Structure formats: structure tokens, C-alpha cells
Amino acid sequence: MDKIGVVFGGSRGIGKAVAQLMAQKGYRLAIASRNLEAARAAAGDLEGNHLGLCCDVSKEQDVQNAFEEVEKNLGRVKFLVNAAGISRDALLLRTKTEDMVSQLHTNLLGSMLTCKAALKHMIQQQGGSIVNIGSIVGLKGNPGQCVYSASKEGLVGFSRSLAKEVARKKIRVNVVAPGFIYTDMTKDMKEEQLKKNIPLGRFGEPKDVAHAVVFLLETPYITGHVLVVDGGLQLAL
Ligand code: NDP
């Protein structure tokens, strides 16, 4: 039977690397992002026949449409990866309310909506696996990232509770919490300065995170776990 998966935020960065590894391992995938062209291009670059979708995860109707389209074109979803995320870094006193809302809606509400929609597919198939991408910042906190950090810590609480809620349905829910990874999100960061705190001495590559995501997707006896992928950064914080 086909292993059908959806990667939200799969057009770039970490999500794209996850999709590449999943495709190499024989999954049939839908890649979703707000930019349809980018999602289609990312799906087209993968080995095999995959689908590119336009979906803003913070909009319930978009999420419902995405799952309907996946079911119509590929079949019911058994594997879900939530890699869609944004950061709007600023000290709290300078953070606009609209930036608070957009981070919470994309990073936290978005994953709640996609998980809810995916559960219906997974329950019908008597099993499934979800990996949500959190952040080391959600576990340790970081000045200038109060709201982002809250969205990511919220995602951990959500994932652990959902893991307990759906374990009896043979659905697993885990979190991967990356440190600093080379993507568009980190391209303006002061790398030389930040690298000094990373025991392994470098930022991670998206594929470093992808291996952890696929490990959790596929390991049958792990649920409710938070796997940190940070080159040892948390040891220094
Ligand atoms: P990128 O900015 O490289 O990619 C983000 C992806 O999410 C893109 O595909 C983007 O496509 C998509 N996206 C953003 N907003 C939405 C939305 N509302 N609906 C659907 N898709 C959306 O980021 P990264 O790859 O770096 O980040 C991936 C995840 O990893 C995020 O959750 C991030 O918070 C987390 N993370 C990243 C770290 C890093 O160092 N890079 C560290 C820790 C965690 P589009 O813009 O077309 O919608």
C-alpha cells in the first residue's frame, strides 16, 4: 500500500529536505505552501509522482480543501509533517499585535488545524504518524523571540496532549526541535557569533533535521517525544 504523506511548508528549507528524504524512501507526497508555484516546483523536483498544493495553514478552509485534494489525487493521509512556520523577531515592547497573531496562527493554530484534518484520515486507516516542527527556542526561551517561543512551546504541549488522546487509535505524535539551521529563516542571523555557542561548531543543514523527522515518522514505539536536533546548543544554554 502507498505511504501517503503531506508536508506543510515543504516548498523550502527544512520541509523541503524532509520531503526529499521521504520521497527517496518511497512515500507519495503532497507538498503545501502559500505559494502554489513553489509547492509545485518542489513536488516536481522529487523522485516519483507528487502533488503541489496552495494552502495557508492558518485558514481552516484552506486546510480542509488541501486534505480533500490529497484524498482525491493520492488517497488518505497516513503521515503528516508540519514544517510551515514564520518568525517575526523583536523585543516584546516593539512587537506589533499583528505580528503576534500571525506567528501564533501559523506556527500553532496552523498545526492544530492540519492535525485535526489529518486525524480523520488516520482514524479511518487505523493508524498514522505526525511530526510537528518545534524549536529549541520553544524549550529554552530567547530574548527577541517571546511570541515565536510561545508558539513553539505551545506546540509541544499540544503534541504531547494529542499523543495521549490518539495513542489508542495507533496514531503517534512527536516533535522535532531544531537549533540553528541554514534556511531562509536564518539567513540574516549573525552566524559567526552564534556558532560559538554550538558545541558541534556549525549551523545545521535542513537534511540534518530531515533524518530526525523521518526517524520519528517511522519508529513505531515512540510517541509524545521531543527530539532536539541542535548540534548540542541546548547544552550551552
Ligand atoms: P523557511 O522560511 O525556509 O520555510 C518555511 C516554509 O513554510 C515555506 O515552505 C513557506 O512557504 C511555508 N509557510 C510559511 N507560512 C505558511 C503558511 N501560513 N501556510 C503554509 N505554509 C507556510 O523556514 P524553515 O525551513 O527554516 O522552517 C521550517 C520550520 O522549522 C518552521 O516551523 C520553523 O519555525 C522551524 N524552525 C526553523 C529553524 C531554523 O533555524 N531554520 C530552527 C527551529 C525551528 P510559503 O512562504 O510559500 O507559504
Sequence-ordered strand ranges (E) for the chain: 3-8, 27-33, 51-54, 79-82, 128-133, 171-178, 226-229
User: Residue 111: its pLDDT value, please?
Assistant: 99
pLDDT, tens digit, for every residue of 178-202? Answer: 999 999 999 999 999 999 999 999 9
The closest of 167, 179, 195 to 136, measured between CA atoms, is 179
Q: Reply yes or no on whether 182 is catalytic.
A: no
Which grid coordinates are listed for 22?
521521504
How long, in residues, is the chain? 237
pLDDT, tens digit, for every residue of 73-99? Answer: 999 999 999 999 999 999 999 999 999
User: Residue 4: its pLDDT value, please?
Assistant: 98
Residue 228 CA to residue 61 CA, distance in Å, equals 32
User: Residue 45: its pLDDT value, please?
Assistant: 96
Coil/strand/helix, residue 226:
strand
User: Residue 237: its pLDDT value, please?
Assistant: 86
- Residues with beta carbon inside 6 Å of ligand 1? 8-9, 11-15, 33-35, 38, 55-58, 83-86, 106-107, 110, 133, 135, 178, 180-181, 183-186
What rounded mean pLDDT belongs to the chain?
A: 97
Q: Are 156 and 175 in contact (CB under 8 A)?
A: yes
* Burial call 38-60: b when 16+ CB within 10 Å, e when fewer: bbbebbeebeeebbbbbbbbbbe
Residue 216 CA to residue 119 CA, distance in Å, equals 17
User: Residue 172: its pLDDT value, please?
Assistant: 98
Task: Tell me the mean pLDDT in the region 151-170.
Answer: 98
Residue nearest to atom 3 of ligand 1 (CA): 13
Residue 126 CA to residue 122 CA, distance in Å, equals 6
Residue 67 CA to residue 72 CA, distance in Å, equals 9
Residue from 27, 148, 182, 221 carrying the catalytic annotation: 148
Which grid coordinates are listed for 182?
541554514
Contacts of 163 (CB under 8 A, 6+ apart): 172, 173, 174, 223, 224
Quick one: which atom of ligand 1 is closest to the CA of 84?
Answer: 7
Distance 40 CA to ligand 1 centre (A): 16
Task: Tell me the mean pLDDT in the region 43-58.
Answer: 96
Distance 5 CA to ligand 1 centre (A): 18
Which domains can be identified in the chain, with CATH numbers?
3-236 (3.40.50.720)
Residue 66 φ/ψ, nearest 5 degrees: -60, -45
Distance 1 CA to ligand 1 centre (A): 30
User: Is the entire prediction scored with pTM above 0.80?
Assistant: yes
Give yes or no for residue 2 having a pLDDT over 90: no
Distance 160 CA to ligand 1 centre (A): 21
